[in-house]
A and B are shown apart, each in its own frame.
Chain A
Amino acid sequence: MTNEKVLSPKFGDYGGQFVPETLVPALKELEAAYLHYRDDVEFQKEFSELMQNYVGRPTPLTYAARLTEDCGGAKIYLKREDLAHSGAHKINNALGQALLAKRMGKKRVIAETGAGQHGVASATVCALLGLDCVVYMGTVDMARQAPNVQRMKLLGAEVRGVESGSKTLKDAVNEAIRDWVTNVEDTYYLLGSALGPHPYPTMVRDFQKVIGQEAKEQILAAEGQLPDTVIACVGGGSNAIGIFHEFVDDEKVELIGVEAGGTGIESGQHAARFAAPDVGRPGVLHGCYTFVLQDEDGQIALTHSISAGLDYAAIGPEHSHLRELERAHYTYATDDEALEAFQTLSRLEGILPALESSHAIAEATKRAAEMPKDSILVVNLSGRGDKDLDTVLQVLGLEN
């Protein structure tokens, strides 16, 4: 690769490359390949054709008339990533990276997954492109997201259950990194969120920024003006950074990230990195310096959320940076608020949202009520809720 350009490895103080030296050459190779193909006409052509004809982009921006009426304030629009192929925004990044893996000559792809959406997206694109796919998933997550485990298997991926640590997403990432260190020469690590070591946070954001680009164009067409507020849920933060990025320079557009408040911040059972200063502090997890939930000795805290996709101890480094700049603001929704939003959206709009996205809906309904009727609010509906039916029906006592 003759490309001499380099990307900045940091967002302010956050980000970096805290990895074993064995991965340094692999990350360098990845950065070079990404920089090369980012500007490669053929690559971009193939990517955008598949985004259109396979993923189904652009996804619609739906005006939620009944939800708006119910809240009695701002007009609420939903960016419909739930309608992307395989049911969530995760496919955007998975497709981009899998195309890159293929160009780099890697035949084997590994991925981690929490809720299973990234695992399904990875299995999907690997089937499409003829790549071997191994997905690491904590056994606790496998139990609560069983339909996605079956989907991955049907798509030809091997799902490896992770028994170490808390048996959730964080441990799946550990195992994926251990696999990568061992098989680095022929394996591509398809990381699913805007976190991890450089260049992943930048690259994943770039593959997801299409969400905000489309949303901006669509809202301008519908309303002739920019939204007042954009809201997204934040686990690692890829759907949020994907919709935020295009609006960062539009300073009048308020950007709101919603973390998982679990059973409440006081309970300690949550995944809200920014909401609890005693446990959410800058630190290093999985290769980057960012806000991490940890105990006073620096051991990574166990997290809780009703949504497996938000159940993670670290937030993508660019979010830490945007928060420090006060360009984006972060709040949280509890399990109960998310469940209520799940039901509200289902009944008023005929859309079953993913429990992750339900956190964003919960915040949107709160805010919309406080905003004037001529104001506009865009919510990233990052995924669909079919995968969550077991959880929701169980909690609501509606099973059978």
Chain B
Amino acid sequence: MTKIADAFGKEKNALMPYFTIGYPDYQTSINVIQACVDAGADLMELGMPFSDPLADGPTIQHSTQVALENGITVKDCLKAVAELRENGVKIPLILMGYINPVLAYGMEKFVTDAAQAGASGFIIPDMPPSEAKEMTEFCEKSGLDIIFLLPPNSSDERMRVVTELSRGFVYLVSVLGITGERDALPVALSAFVAKVRKLTQKPLAVGFGISTPEQAAAVGEVADGVIVGSALIKAVGQADDPVGAAREFVQNLKEALS
């Protein structure tokens, strides 16, 4: 299994697609994720559904709502990770979800079980570093990475805190706001990345609002990794052949990044 930080090591422009487990149904989501891996994804971010995803825009909200209607639980998400590993997936698999289902499952048990299933790390958008002490300790014990988000409005002090505490890589939020496609990338992105670069050696991946190969290529110029979520979900959701659509979507992004 590849370590998260190493997934950025071998090539500069790592691609990390996001996909919601259980959308449009459990088996299709597994097949879609597998297709992303086969098409060259360097890491995968796997969404665990939550009833109140306050950091997400309409596209991801919709996908998680469908997943919940399909009865997807935290347990199912861990099962999905184990299944992907059994199928031979070697790239880092990062679970993204909100804190309450993790607390309901039991934080320590969640981390241990996720490690057991083969997860590589976690992204929990409503758990900033100041609230993540316990989670960080459990992660260290299990050898998993906890990744924190860093938005462009952060003070120098917050930038230092977040870059220091984030493991594996630092998730730079391209814009103020929630997930979802945007027409244009923010002009100040490269300055933001450059500023963070001075504070840390860790890989820097950029997410929120990146949807097209052109945008991915532009981000790849300055960052070490590109995260794409809503646009992939939309492509899959609209397609008659979700697996084929995912493969083509990821291939196009990979080409743009190489």
Show the binding face of A for B, using Cβ within 8 Å. 16-22, 24-25, 28, 164-165, 170-171, 174, 177-178, 181-185, 281-287, 292, 294, 296-300
What residue in chain A is nearest B105 (Cβ atoms)?
Answer: A298
By the criterion CB–CB under 8 Å, are A298 and B128 in contact? no
**Shortest beta-carbon distance from B199 to chain A in Å:** 15
Q: A287–B55 Cα gap in the complex (Å)?
A: 12
Q: Which of B53-76 contact A (CB under 8 A)?
A: 53-55, 57-58, 61, 65, 68, 73-75
Known contacts: A165-B52, A181-B176, A181-B178. The answer to whether A297 contacts B61 by CB under 8 A is no
Q: A299–B52 Cα gap in the complex (Å)?
A: 8
CB of B102 closer than 8 Å to a CB of A? yes
CB of B150 closer than 8 Å to a CB of A? yes
Which of B65, B105, B127, B178 has a CB less than 8 Å from the CB of A18?
A: B127
CB of B148 closer than 8 Å to a CB of A? yes
Known contacts: A18-B127, A20-B55. The answer to whether A283 contacts B153 by CB under 8 A is no
The 8 closest A-B pairs by CB, nearest first: A298-B104, A298-B101, A182-B177, A22-B151, A299-B51, A298-B100, A300-B51, A297-B73
Q: A346–B116 Cα gap in the complex (Å)?
A: 62
**Shortest beta-carbon distance from B123 to chain A in Å:** 11
By the criterion CB–CB under 8 Å, are A284 and B103 in contact? yes
What residue in chain A is nearest B99 (Cβ atoms)?
Answer: A284
Could you list 27 examples of A-B contacts with CB < 8 Å? A17-B128, A17-B131, A18-B128, A18-B131, A20-B55, A20-B149, A21-B148, A21-B149, A21-B150, A22-B177, A25-B153, A28-B155, A171-B52, A178-B177, A182-B177, A182-B178, A185-B153, A283-B100, A283-B104, A284-B99, A284-B103, A284-B126, A285-B100, A298-B50, A298-B74, A298-B105, A299-B100
Show the binding face of B for A, using Cβ within 8 Å. 50-55, 57-58, 61, 65, 68, 73-75, 98-105, 125-128, 130-131, 148-151, 153-155, 158, 162, 173, 176-178
Q: A282–B103 Cα gap in the complex (Å)?
A: 9
Known contacts: A25-B154, A25-B155, A300-B52. The answer to whether A16 contacts B131 by CB under 8 A is yes
**Shortest beta-carbon distance from A21 to chain B in Å:** 5
- Which residues of chain A have C-beta atoms less than 8 A from B173's C-beta? 21-22
- Which residues of chain B have C-beta atoms less than 8 A from A18's C-beta? 99, 126-128, 131
Known contacts: A184-B153, A286-B54, A299-B51. The answer to whether A21 contacts B158 by CB under 8 A is yes
**Shortest beta-carbon distance from B108 to chain A in Å:** 15
- Which residues of chain B have C-beta atoms less than 8 A from A292's C-beta? 100
Q: A16–B133 Cα gap in the complex (Å)?
A: 13
